[in-house]
Amino acid sequence: MRSARSKVLHEVAGLSLLGHVMGAAGEAGGTAQAVVVGRAAEQVGAEARRCGHNVTIAEQTERLGTGHAVLAARQAIAEGYDDVLVLFGDTPLITPQSLKPLRAALAEGAAVAVMGFRTSQPDGYGRLVEVDGELVAIREDKDASEEERKITFCNGGIMGLSGSKALELLEAIGNDNAKGEYYLTDCVAIARERGLKVVATQADEEELIGVNDRNELARVEALWQARKRRELMEAGVSLQAPGSVHFSFDTVIGADSRIEPDVWFGPGVRVGANVHIRAFSHIEGAEIGDHAVIGPFARLRPGTRMAEKTKIGNFCETKNTSVEAGAKINHLSYIGDARVGAAANIGAGTITCNYDGLNKHFTDIGANAFVGTGSALVAPVSIGDGAYIASGSVITQDVPANAMAVARGRQVNKDGHARTIRARNEQFKRDRQKG
């Protein structure tokens, strides 16, 4: 990756590669997770604990092959689970739907289950050799016979081991090979020699794609996004230009919502039903109620909570703000650290002045309040229910319910003074050009 970060900490759809894999394992029914770490052990361990459940960390201090890596988690394996799945932290497209058949095969009596995929271009991959429904060998490409090279069922790397047999199989792996390493794939031959059942299950080829560089990271991101778009459209969400919309790993959108082009969803977004999100909006850490309208060119930052039938319009930004039912923030406004009461109307160019240089302060805007265009609300301040803020006001004190507040300088008109100003400005321009 040519990065200061461990490979598995790089992200797809806002979640680390490791997080995707651990999430799939958990959804497949895993009750404990052991993560084998090497480089950047502390950082990877912290991410594993954040993403998983019942997590133990095992460190591989020497790199002596895949079998050696799995045995670094010997203590966890020895706990005696029904089955042990060996996954890779750089395959973020793996799904629980593909892991469950692996577990089912072990529950049905297999000692080893290997996940494979079918491809029209098998060159370079280990072939899965089956006889009468059982896996008899994993044949590396360089060692395969001419007949075996025709096999299109290839090794995907992921393996399941019966919990009662896992340690004895792993401990039986030797290193009598050119590299002197312990290969996990040797479990197949060892199990067969002991008369144990070995089978293969199948997953889609794309689920087993690993990430080793930035190009592959971008490819996996594109595949994940395409998968998410299909899922949402199949669930009743309309994407006007699907390829232009970016989702995060946890984006939730309700049925009959419409998403226009070039919308970006960061982590932590939940969208209700019948929501209309217009083009070029940027949304993260926000909850959006049913029948809301957003954008175009709106930015919803973390902590934004929109109730049903609310509106945040063009070139508006919100942060840590609750927008209650029926309220509208239509144009060119910034509302941060605030509550906007039900059916309140925020005029164009309104700003909540929430930061004093050191601390953030709260603005409370009551139900049915009207805030006129170009107003600045200097927090902490409270605008009562039904209050009316005159356009262009700078509000520094609380406004009672149903009161009108005007806070701006008195207008003064000076007849003919515009000519004086223009003449002065023209003279200034001439002097500057001369000198």
Instruction: Return the SS3 of 180.
Output: coil
Residue in 246, 331, 361, 417 annotated catalytic: 331
Give strand pairing partners of 382.
364
Report the Cα 109 to chain-centroid distance in Å: 37
H/E stretch holding 351: strand 351-353
Contact 374, 390 (CB under 8 A): no
Contacts of residue 170, Cβ cutoff 8 Å, sequence gap at least 6? 67, 70, 71, 74, 77, 161, 187
Report the distance separating Cα 90 and Cα 211, nearest Å.
Answer: 5
Closest Cα partner for 277 from 333, 238, 305?
238
Strands 134-139, 127-131: pairing is antiparallel
H/E stretch holding 236: none
Instruction: Return the SS3 of 36.
Output: strand
Burial class (CB in 10 A: 0-12, 13-18, 19+), 414: exposed
Contact 17, 11 (CB under 8 A): yes
Known active-site residue 276: no
Give strand pairing partners of 346.
329, 371
Closest Cα partner for 185 from 130, 122, 112?
112
Contacts by 308-315 with C-beta closer than 8 Å and gap 24+? 308/272, 314/278
Burial class (CB in 10 A: 0-12, 13-18, 19+), 4: exposed
Q: In 258-390, which residue ranges form alpha helices assigned H by DSSP?
A: none
Closest Cα partner for 310 from 318, 417, 42?
318
Point out the residues that are catalytic.
Answer: 331
